[in-house]
Amino acid sequence: MKITNVKVLVCRPGRNFVTVKIETDEGVYGIGDATLNGREMAVAAYLEEHIAPCLIGKDPLQIEDVWQYLFKGAYWRKGPVTMTAIGAVDMALWDIFGKVTNMPVYQLLGGKSRHGVTVYAHANGESIEEVLTNLGQFIDQGYKAVRLQCTIPNQKGTYGTLEGKKNYYELQGNRPLPPENEWCTRKYMNFIPELFKQAREQFGYDIELLHDVHSRLTPIEAAKLGKMLEPYDLMFLEDSVTADNQQGYAQIRQHTTTPLAVGEIFNTVWDAKELIETQSIDYIRTAVSHGGGITPMRKLSDFAAMHHVRMAPHGAPDLSPIATMAHLHINTWAPNFGIQEFVGFGTDEINEVFKYELNIKNGMLLPSEAPGLGVDIDEEAMKKYEYKRSYLPVSRLEDGTLWNW
């Protein structure tokens, strides 16, 4: 079996997605998600110009060797652009492997470790009242875990919430230049414990609650927040600090028992090595697309399991349904699966382009039994939705200092 063609497809059904399609001489093809939010065309060019020519003629079932070839063979390792490109190719090859063997990818990884993948929903709002109304609705729908994000009073533009009551906070798509948000740590710290206090008062302790700080704090501030939130028993506090300096998490750890999660911008297992080895985190959030594919996710999962760290892959709307389905397979298999972020089912436009079936029951996604990843694309529909340059916001302190968004 040989790879005969590699297509790089860019489209914008409401937001930008980059998709790789790998075709073979036997008519079987595989697809992978190569979307890197706000830097889409860098990955598309990397794939088209630097990866595609090397794949023609290769055996698509030599998945490990192709992965090593693209990682080691480029000399320039790592980084989000490189690893997202490799990740998409790797996903597509696992998809082909599944189709050729007529098995779902979770089966090829080692089979089912569970009958369903528990997810957490997003309850966002411009006031505590609004967040709690949304939380109540998710509980009624059977969700077992919900992330809470609320607009911080007197602060312009808060992560995870959108004016105009849009649910998909990053689906705005059309941002010709990065919008700017404001950040004030004191306003945030003064407000956020109250959100969780009221959530627990109203809904009790059966529901798992989560929160994403989006890297806005320093380690000692994160330690303080973790302590303040201890009475409200979070499942995890996400990205309280950037992990560029992995030792920061050890510092947080010394002060609080609030479980910690990080990793959605990680590209390799090396980004998490110290965090995992020192057991400074509880959940690793690396995504299959940005982390180089299913092949390294499997290694990451095994490495994390040895250190009591569980998998909680990133699941924001900028991951296409292909990555969502790949996560579903990894999570069905991974013995140390923790939880999956889930922002809901795609919009009509997204579902016109990506063909997949997601079944949710009692807050759990059920494994897909289709061969391969269980997702397809409609290339004709993709043509209707042209790419438009778009950016994530940037963040500044009130005095103008550029901060982590």
Phi, psi of 260 (to 5 degrees): -115, 140
- Taking Cα atoms as reference points, which of 296, 316, 275 lies closest to residue 82? 296
* Strand, coil or helix: 349: helix
Q: How many CB atoms lie within 10 A of CB 247?
A: 12
User: Would you give the binding string for ligand CS2 spanning residues 147-176, x where CB under 6 A is met?
Assistant: -----------------------x------
208 binds Mg ion (CB under 5 A): no
Query: Least Å distance between CB 314 and Mg ion?
Result: 7
Q: Which is nearer to ligand CS2, 33 or 212 (CB)?
A: 212
Binding partner at 341 among Mg ion, ligand CS2, none, C-beta below 5 to 8 Å by kind: ligand CS2
212 binds Mg ion (CB under 5 A): yes
Tell me the CA distances in angstroms from 162 to 145, 149, 167, 168, 169, one per residue in order.
21, 10, 8, 8, 6
Hey, which residues between 250 and 269 contact Mg ion (CB under 5 A)? 264
- Taking Cα atoms as reference points, which of 259, 245, 269 lies closest to residue 209? 259
Whether the CB-CB separation of 179 and 152 falls below 8 Å is answered with no
Provide the residue type at 251 as one letter.
Q
Tell me how far apart the alpha carbons of residues 160 and 156 are, in angstroms, rounded to a whole number: 12
Tell me how far apart the alpha carbons of residues 398 and 149 are, in angstroms, rounded to a whole number: 21
Residue of 29, 106, 211, 214 marked catalytic: 214
Candidate list 12, 21, 144, 214; residue touching ligand CS2; CB under 6 A: 214
392 binds ligand CS2 (CB under 6 A): yes
Contacts of 218 (CB under 8 A, 6+ apart): 241, 248
124 binds ligand CS2 (CB under 6 A): no
User: Among this protein's residues, is 385 annotated catalytic?
Assistant: no
Residue of 29, 106, 143, 159 marked catalytic: 159
117 strand-pairing partners: 365
Binding partner at 221 among Mg ion, ligand CS2, none, C-beta below 5 to 8 Å by kind: none
Query: Least Å distance between CB 253 and ligand CS2?
Result: 21
Q: Which is nearer to ligand CS2, 99 or 214 (CB)?
A: 214
Q: CA 74 from chain center: how many Å?
A: 25
- Binding residues with ligand CS2: total (CB under 6 A): 10
User: Among this protein's residues, is 120 annotated catalytic?
Assistant: no
- Contact range with ligand CS2 by CB under 6 A, out of 8-16, 296-304, 312-320, 329-337: 312-320
Applying CB under 6 A, the residues found at the interface with ligand CS2 are 37, 170, 212, 214, 264, 314, 316, 318, 341, 392
